[in-house]
């Protein structure tokens, strides 16, 4: 069994007892940055996942997506297994359910916040002409290594976006994302 902190085990145990394995509310002692850090680690390990909150059902909201929708936290089969609970399958009436094999095969869907530098970077890369490192440096006031790191880490690994590049005469290497 994986090594869990006491807080992680408490969150997963509580989620296992709730309908649809919703992990909210978090323990009262876990607030602010500490909550973000613990939940981030659990999301990274695949113990929790963010899913669209159904406000009509009264599901609690973990965070806002920026477009008026909220996300809640749900314990995954891997999270339940980490505390020794075998979850065979989710309720069949849940259209949002992802089977365990799909869950491990597909990258997590993350939604970038509006108005951030990351969102501006994505918009520049989705423009018809794409963008060069130099153009991004000017627009975002980032160093070249920061831009390359953001493209490789945040865009490719975390968001699962396919960044392409090619050389353009008189412009240099141009980076692009497929349009949404």
Which residues make beta-bridge pairs with 123? none
Please give the chain's pLDDT, 180 residues, in tens.
Answer: 578 888 998 999 888 888 788 899 898 888 888 888 999 999 998 999 988 887 777 778 888 876 667 888 999 988 888 888 876 544 433 444 444 433 333 444 556 667 888 889 999 999 999 999 999 999 999 999 999 988 888 888 777 889 999 999 999 999 999 876
- 117-176 to CATH, choices 1.10.3470, 1.10.1740, 1.10.10, 1.25.40: 1.10.10
- H-helix or E-strand spanning residue 82: helix 77-82
- Say if CB 142 and CB 117 are below 8 A apart: yes
Overall pTM surpassing 0.85 (yes/no): no
Task: Check for a shared fold between 6-105 and 117-176.
Answer: yes
Q: Output the CA angle 24-156-126, nearest 5 degrees.
A: 105
- Say if CB 69 and CB 52 are below 8 A apart: yes
Q: How far apart are the first and last CA of the chain?
A: 40
CATH architecture under which domain 6-105 falls? Orthogonal Bundle (1.10)
Distance CA(34)–CA(40), nearest Å, equals: 10
Q: Three-state SS for 98?
A: coil
């Amino acid at each position: 069994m994986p090594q869990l902190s006491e807080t992680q085990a408490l969150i997963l145990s509580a989620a296992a007892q709730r309908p649809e394995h919703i992990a909210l509310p978090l323990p009262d002692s876990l607030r602010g940055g500490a909550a973000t850090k613990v939940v981030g680690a659990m999301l990274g390990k695949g113990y929790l996942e963010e899913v669209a909150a159904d406000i009509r059902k009264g599901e609690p909201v973990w965070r806002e997506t920026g477009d008026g929708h909220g996300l809640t936290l749900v314990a995954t089969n891997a999270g339940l297994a980490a505390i020794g609970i075998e979850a065979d399958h989710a309720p069949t009436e849940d259209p949002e359910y992802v089977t365990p094999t799909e869950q491990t095969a597909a990258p997590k869907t993350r939604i970038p916040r509006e108005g951030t530098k990351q969102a501006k970077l994505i918009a520049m890369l989705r423009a018809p002409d794409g963008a060069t490192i130099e153009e991004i440096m000017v627009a975002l006031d980032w160093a070249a290594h920061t831009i390359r790191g953001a493209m490789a880490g945040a865009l490719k690994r975390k968001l699962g976006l396919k960044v392409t590049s090619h050389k353009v005469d008189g412009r240099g290497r141009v980076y692009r994302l497929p349009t949404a």
